[in-house]
Structure 1
């Protein structure tokens, strides 16, 4: 499976810990991430992440492009609902593309844990 890993700044540690705890499962898949999130996951695991730009610089849109092309199977996007994001339109577009193309989107750890059963 092609899996995208994205997290807002306040949720990066939570996503990194989640991926570390499930590294064996994630290692069986092709992983993609926005710039900083991908870099930090690679620094804390033995996983390779194909990295795009940072989210505010277009990384969310680059992942959205893969979704639109039918080249993404699942998205883990740990969002911070309590902090305004300057690139909120990009985030909304990414989530809309997941809905349009029926791509599973885990926006928090509880949903992500359920998705592990699919992996």
Structure 2
């Protein structure tokens, strides 16, 4: 299972909480993430994460390319809807492509947990 974990700055603690809750499952997956989120996950949980650039410097586009190339099964992208982002077009493209290419997409904590609970049942 190829899974990407992405989180806006105000959602970093939530993504770390998700990783903590689903660490056993995530260790069975090939993980991808934008730079800062991936570094935080690796440092706190010692899980291997394949990192791309940060979102504002092209990381969202790199993840979107993985979607287009069918190299991603699940995208957990904790979006902060209350903050503006200089790379808003990249974010919208990533979400749009995930929907078009039928990639499982979770954009908030509750949905991410639902997806990972389902994956846990599927993989075990």
Identify the residue that residue 45 of structure 1 maps to in structure 2.
45
Q: When the two structures are superposed, what TM-score results if normalisation uses the length of structure 2? A: 0.94
3-state SS in 1 of match to 2:119 = coil
User: How far did residue 46 of structure 1 move?
Assistant: 2.0
Q: Match of 1:103?
A: 103
Aligned pairs for 1:78-93 within 5 A: 78-93=78-93
Aligned equivalents of 2:87 and 2:42: distance in 1?
Answer: 24
Distance in 2 of aligned mates of 1:83 and 1:20: 25
Larger helix percent = 2
Shift of 1:118: 2.2
* Structure 1 segments unaligned to the other structure (5+ residues): none
> Separation in 2 of the partners of 1:21 and 1:74?
17
State how far apart, in whole Å, the 2-side matches of 1:3 and 1:18 are: 13
Query: Separation in 2 of the partners of 1:22 and 1:2?
Result: 15
Residues 1-119 of structure 1: pairs in structure 2 closer than 5 A: 1-116=1-116, 117-119=118-120
> RMSD between aligned alpha carbons?
0.7
Cα distance between partner residues in 2 of 1:8 and 1:98: 17
Structure 1 residue 20 displacement after superposition: 1.3
Instruction: Report the Cα offset of residue 63 of structure 1.
Output: 0.6
Q: How many residues align?
A: 119
